[in-house]
Amino acid sequence: MNPFKKRHGRLVPPGLEMQILRLLPRVTLIGALMPVALSVLVRVMPPQPGVDVDKHIKSVDIFAIATEITFLTAMFTVAIGAVIVHVMKGPAYMADSYPVPHSDRPVRDASADEDRQ
């Protein structure tokens, strides 16, 4: 007996998970570059008078790193979810049959009747 015998006639069309998986690299790249652009922008723009430039740049860098880590974690979580849904929609496999002798005539359990009384 083949343990990996696929059932025929069960094709689930790809849904939202495939759209997410196709868009994920592009969204991740654009989203990962945004905090970097913010960090570069704070170095290029002229500082406001009366502001400690080094402290301001460090604060923006810390914010950019935290945003980057949070964003990449979120994208990784979305990717895992989409992959799980895609795998779960995969082909169905035949399991070993387990014959139930009383499937068409259920047997009443006498001890269960005694417990109810």
Residue 101 in any domain: the answer is no
Residue 32 lies in a domain: yes
Q: What is the pLDDT of residue 32?
A: 96
Look at phi and psi of residue 77 and say left if phi exceeds 0, alpha if psi is from -120 to 50, else beta.
alpha
In a domain, 20, yes or no: yes
Report how far residue 54's alpha carbon sits from residue 52's, in angstroms, rounded to the nearest whole number: 6
Domain count within the chain: 1
Could you give the CA distance from residue 6 to residue 1 in angstroms, rounded to a whole number?
12
The candidate with the shortest Cα–Cα distance to 31, out of 73, 83, 84, 85, is: 73
Q: Tens of pLDDT along the chain (117 residues)?
A: 566 666 665 567 778 999 999 999 999 999 999 999 999 999 999 888 888 999 999 999 999 999 999 999 999 999 999 999 888 887 766 665 666 666 666 666 656 555 555
Flag whether 113 is in a domain.
Answer: no
Q: What is the pLDDT of residue 15?
A: 86
In terms of residue numbers, what domain contains 16? 1-95
**pLDDT at 4 (0 to 100):** 67
